[in-house]
Amino acid sequence: MKSMKPVSRELFVAMMIYHLTEVKKERVWFGKLVESLQEYMTQNIVSEAIDTLTDWLIIKGEYGPTDNGRAGYLMFIETHDGGDFRIKELYDKYWDRIVGGKYGG
């Protein structure tokens, strides 16, 4: 597995959700997130990170259509209490250093 240093795996998951939803303007559901993070962590770790981020009020979700039209639980960065600004700051500071330009902008 590739390193996510200097951020925790939970915050890296939040940064990936931010990247996909805010930068690339894509929908994010569990399967897509697991696929996007497969080089960095296992499916179980992604699931645990989502639970933690939800508890911390950093992400939220709602049911809606995935890219193939099937129903899924879509995830977003929570805008309540400035969560989106904190994740954006981490993203701006560490994203390129961690992923090395792999995911583009």
Q: pLDDT digits over 33-57, tens only?
A: 999 999 999 999 999 999 999 999 9
Q: Which residue segments constitute the domains of the chain, with CATH numbers given?
A: 9-95 (1.10.10.10)
- Please give the structure tokens belonging to residue 31: 């399967």
pLDDT of residue 102: 64
Task: In whole angstroms, give the CA distance from residue 69 to residue 82.
Answer: 31
Residue the block writes with tokens 């200097």 = 6
The pLDDT-based confidence of 101 (bands split at 50, 70, 90) is low
The pLDDT-based confidence of 103 (bands split at 50, 70, 90) is low
pTM of the model: 0.90
